[in-house]
Each structure stands twice: as structure tokens, then as C-alpha cells.
Amino acid sequence: MESCALRPSGDANQVNYLGQSRGLCRECGDRVEVRYVARGQRVYLERLCPKHGKHDALVAGDLSWYLEAMSHDVAPCPPRKVRAEKQAPCPDACGPCLFHGQRCHLPVLPITNACNLRCPICFGYNRSAPYFMPPEEFAKRLDFLLEATGGVDLINITGGEPTLHPQLLDILRLAKRPGIGRITLNTNGLGLGRRPELAAALAELGIYVVLSLDTLHRERSTVLHGADIVDDKQRALATLQKHAIPTTILHVLVAGVNEDEMPSWLDLLAAESFVRSLTIQTMTYTGQGGSSFGPRRPIPVDEVERMIEGASAARIKVSDFMPLPTAHPLCYGVSYLFSDEAGSLHPMTRLLSKTEIAGMARDGYLLHPSDESNAAMKVALDRLWSEGAEPDILRILKNMLTALYPPGPPIDVYQRQRAAERFVKTIFVHAHMDEDTYEVGRAMRCPDQVVMDREHLVGACNFNLIYRMPDPLFGAGR
């Protein structure tokens, strides 16, 4: 008998209970029971606060998708090191505690709480009397990170707006050390357009840029960022292109505001060789701006995937996405795409099985092309050739295999990743949690961990919702 053989009907009156866990009451902050419940095809997280009653938030648009995603293989990858003693249930003893289920794959290092924008959608807290992390402190935090993890594929330097840091380049140089594969820098892009020397320096240091890009409409820009910064964004893109800086477009998708701009981001990803990946992050209604932004309409991962299918005229389908094996399926979906010189994207799922792809993605965000993946791709190549596949695809694959597995002595994993980037682009769909969608089972599987001080790695949503507020540097302050 097949799994999911009982096809739940679309009737919204049909309620299917799926599971229970713990979450947060938005009203009182108490740790309360939450439940996953399907009404018809839609899956909600229901919060049951004995003091403040029931509240629900959409976490998946389609029950069949949810059941399939939840049955996906989970990468067994507990943290290498955890805090010696656990003092409280999740999320109140994070660091990570011995209950944490996932290694840190994306360490996040905020270096300043200064920002030159006051975005109504911001989930952080910026200060008018800013803090700039001294490079010595940054170095100490890196020491801790490397001791805790034994080395990472990539790190993410963020803020506030990190390009406002007067010693940014010193900090970036400190981050270039053994054990750290790739340095990514978050930015709103204002500095890139206004200070040409900055981009040149970043290019020279081999920094990857994560550019926030939420809209190219002027009025929407004011709604989302409190100012019309469309020209700044265009200048930032031009600068990144000019310096060929490998770039991730970080797009915050806000219900009722910018959903119709999806085709622009897909076009950027396909057409521009400097754009290596696209991360669609759904709006999270928490923090300085976000908690009062409305109306609150959380968009689940699968809904975003469906929007991408629509915006790409089904060139990229929902079925071309899979849960990131190192995260919770409600937090991250991913699609890897072969990219050709002509500006087309070909989903990897058409050539390799999701199990084969998951095998390469077991160690985090970047594919780890191993000798096994070489074999799998060669088999796929043979199959495609015998099936009479398009010559374009065959050429991309052949070129890629030659670049990844050159004749002669084997190259290391970081070299392979860099080689693969020319051929493989990535779309991540990432749903942060806010108070309405928070569930400890997701937090326990979080691979994005904030280096909070010299002793704690805290999952990103635990940081945003619980640890950020009392943090002397990155919290709300007095």
C-alpha cells in the first residue's frame, strides 16, 4: 500500500490533526502548546494559550506537499559541540543545547547595529547611537565559531548595515582564514552604489555579496523601506555586475505588496552570470518594524514555490524543489538549476533523483560534489544522451564534469564548489518564523546560527524572537 493513500479532501470543514509541539504566545510570550492542523488542504499552526485563547497561522498551503516534505530524508548531523549542561527546555537554553538537532551550516555574525534605512519590514533593531564591533572582538567570535564547528562552508556577515562599519575591510580580512570556506556579506546596497571603491575592495578580497532586493517599484519601496531606494538598488546591481562579484539576491516576499515581481528576480538569476543564487525570504512579522507591519499574512514555503512555478511559466515547478536536507521542510526549500550561457535554467531534478541531489546537499547550503556525485552525473549524462536530450544540456553537463573532476590530482571541495558555481545556480525559499509560526521542532533543526557572543551559537529564529531583545548590542535597547 502506498503512503498517503488516503487522499484528504479539499473540504475546509475536514480537520486533520497532524501533531503537537510547543510555541510562543504573541500576547504574553509564554511557552504554550501549538498544533499542526490541516483544514482541507491548508496546514496551520494553531496556538493554544490558556490565557489568550486560540490563534492560527498558515504554514503550508497544500497538505499533500506537507506530507511529502515531512517524509523526506533528514540529514543526521547533530552539532559537533554543545553546551555542557542543559538548563531549560527549548528554546530557553540555546547555545546550542544538547537537544539541538542540526550542525551550524550558516553562521551569522552581526558586526553593527547601525543602519542607513528604517525599513517598516525590519525584523532587527537598529540604533541611532551605533555600535561597531571592534575587529578584536570579531576575531574572538570567529575563534569560538571554529572551535564549536571545526570549520564551516561559509559565514555571513551582517548588521544592521555592515558596510557602515568603518573597519569593515579589516573584519573581512580577519574572516579570511583556514576553516572558513566562503565569506558572504549582507547589504542593502546603498554603499555599493555610492562608494565605488567599496565594490573594488570586496572583489579583490573575494567576498560574496548578499544584496537585499525587495522591489523595483518606487511606491512599494517607500512601503517596504520607508524611502524610494530603487535607483540605489539599480546602481548596486550595476556595480556588482561591473566587478563580477558573485551575488545572492535576497528578496523579502511580502503578501499584498510585491508578489507580482517574481519574474524579475528569476530573470536576473537566469540572465546575469554574477547572480549565483536567489533567496526568497518570506515576510516575518516580528522585530522593530515587522511586528507592527500589516496585514499579517505569512506565506509558506510551498506557496512561494507555486508562485515561482507560475512566474517561470512552469520552467521551474514545485516538484523541482525539495526540502533542504539540513533544515526543517517548513523553513527551507531549495532547487538547484543548471545554467547555460544562453540565460536558461534547467532544474537539476530533471536529471538526477532528489535522493542523489540530497546526497550532495547533506553538508549545508552548498553542494558538495563528491566522487559519488560524479558517478551519478555520469550515469545521468549517459541516460540523457541515449534518450536524445538537447545538445545544450549535454554540453553544460560535460563541461561541468570536466571542471569539477579535472584529469590529474583531485581538487579540494572548496575548489570544486567554485568550479560548480559557473554551471549550477540555486533558488532557496526560506520562511523565518515569527511569534505566530514559531514551533520548537523547527528551531531544533535550525542550521542558521547567530554567533551571539564568544560562547553561544543560537538558531536564527530563536535569536530574533527570544535572545535578540535582551541582547545589549542587537536588541531593542531601553
Partner 1 sequence: MSAADFQPLVASESLGLGPDDACLSATQGLCNICGVQVEAKLIARSERVVLVKWCPEHGLSEGLVSSNRAWTTRAAGYLKPGTEPRRRATGEYRGCPTSCGLCPEHQQHTCVPLLEITPTCDMNCPICLVSKRVRPPLALGEVDSILDTLVACEGKLNMLTLTGGEPTQHPQFLEIVDRCHRPEIGIVSVSTNGLWIEENEDLVRALRDRGAVISLQFDGFDSQACQRLRGQPNLGERKRRAIDRVLALGGRLSLTFTLAKDTNEHELPAVLKLLFEEEQILSLMVQPLAIMGPRPASDLDRLTVPDAVSLLAQSSGGVLQESDFSPLPCSHPYCFALTYLLKLSSGGLVTLPSILDAETYLNLIKNQALVGTDRENLQDLRDALYRLWSSDGMMPQREGLLATMRKLILDLGRPGGPMSHREVLELGTRNVKSVFIHHFMDRSNFDLGRVVKCCNHYPQTDGRLLPACVRNNLA
**Distance, CA of 309 to chain centre:** 19
Distance CA 112, CA 129 (A): 11
Of 78 and 406, CB closest to partner 1: 78
Of 245 and 473, CB closest to partner 1: 473
Q: State the nearest-atom distance from the C-beta of 117 to partner 1, in Å.
A: 28
Q: State the nearest-atom distance from the C-beta of 11 to partner 1, in Å.
A: 9
Of 29 and 410, CB closest to partner 1: 29
Distance spanning both ends of the chain, measured CA to CA? 59
Q: State the nearest-atom distance from the C-beta of 73 to partner 1, in Å.
A: 8
DSSP annotation of 331 reads: T
Q: State the nearest-atom distance from the C-beta of 365 to partner 1, in Å.
A: 18
Distance CA 246, CA 473 (A): 30
Q: State the nearest-atom distance from the C-beta of 336 to partner 1, in Å.
A: 22
Of 50 and 134, CB closest to partner 1: 50
Handedness of CA 48, 52, 53, 55 (dihedral sign): negative
Q: State the nearest-atom distance from the C-beta of 468 to partner 1, in Å.
A: 11
Q: State the nearest-atom distance from the C-beta of 140 to partner 1, in Å.
A: 13
Of 81 and 173, CB closest to partner 1: 81
Q: State the nearest-atom distance from the C-beta of 332 to partner 1, in Å.
A: 14
Helices 196-205, 168-175: inter-axial angle, 10-degree rounding: 10
Residues 6+ apart with CB under 8 A from 29: none
**Distance, CA of 47 to chain centre:** 25
In the numeric block, which cell numbers belong to residue 237? Answer: 546591481
Q: What backbone torsions phi and psi does residue 120 show, to the nearest 5 degrees?
A: -60, -15
Of 147 and 228, CB closest to partner 1: 147
Of 263 and 477, CB closest to partner 1: 477
DSSP annotation of 463 reads: I
Q: Which helix (H) or strand (E) holds 383?
A: helix 371-386
In the numeric block, which cell numbers belong to residue 284? Answer: 516575518
Query: What residue ranges bind partner 1 (CB under 8 A)?
Result: 1-6, 8, 14-22, 33, 35, 38, 48, 50, 63, 67, 70-71, 74-90, 93, 95, 98-102, 147-148, 439-441, 444-445, 452, 455-456, 467, 470-471
Of 99 and 423, CB closest to partner 1: 99
Of 35 and 105, CB closest to partner 1: 35
Q: State the nearest-atom distance from the C-beta of 305 to partner 1, in Å.
A: 20
Handedness of CA 42, 48, 52, 53 (dihedral sign): positive
Distance CA 22, CA 25 (A): 10
For residue 196, the SS3 value is helix
Distance CA 63, CA 303 (A): 12
Bridge partner list, 457: 451
Residue 23 and residue 57 in contact, taking contact as beta carbons nearer than 8 Å: no
Of 76 and 166, CB closest to partner 1: 76
Q: State the nearest-atom distance from the C-beta of 2 to partner 1, in Å.
A: 7
Q: State the nearest-atom distance from the C-beta of 16 to partner 1, in Å.
A: 5
Q: State the nearest-atom distance from the C-beta of 12 to partner 1, in Å.
A: 11
Of 395 and 454, CB closest to partner 1: 454
Of 193 and 325, CB closest to partner 1: 325
The Cα-based distances of 29 to 22, 123, 290 in angstroms read 12, 17, 17
**Cell numbers 540572465: residue:** 271
Distance CA 80, CA 180 (A): 16
Residue 60 and residue 330 in contact, taking contact as beta carbons nearer than 8 Å: yes
For residue 248, the SS3 value is strand
Ramachandran bin of 450, using left for φ above 0, alpha for ψ from -120 to 50, beta for the remaining angles: beta
**Distance, CA of 155 to chain centre:** 12
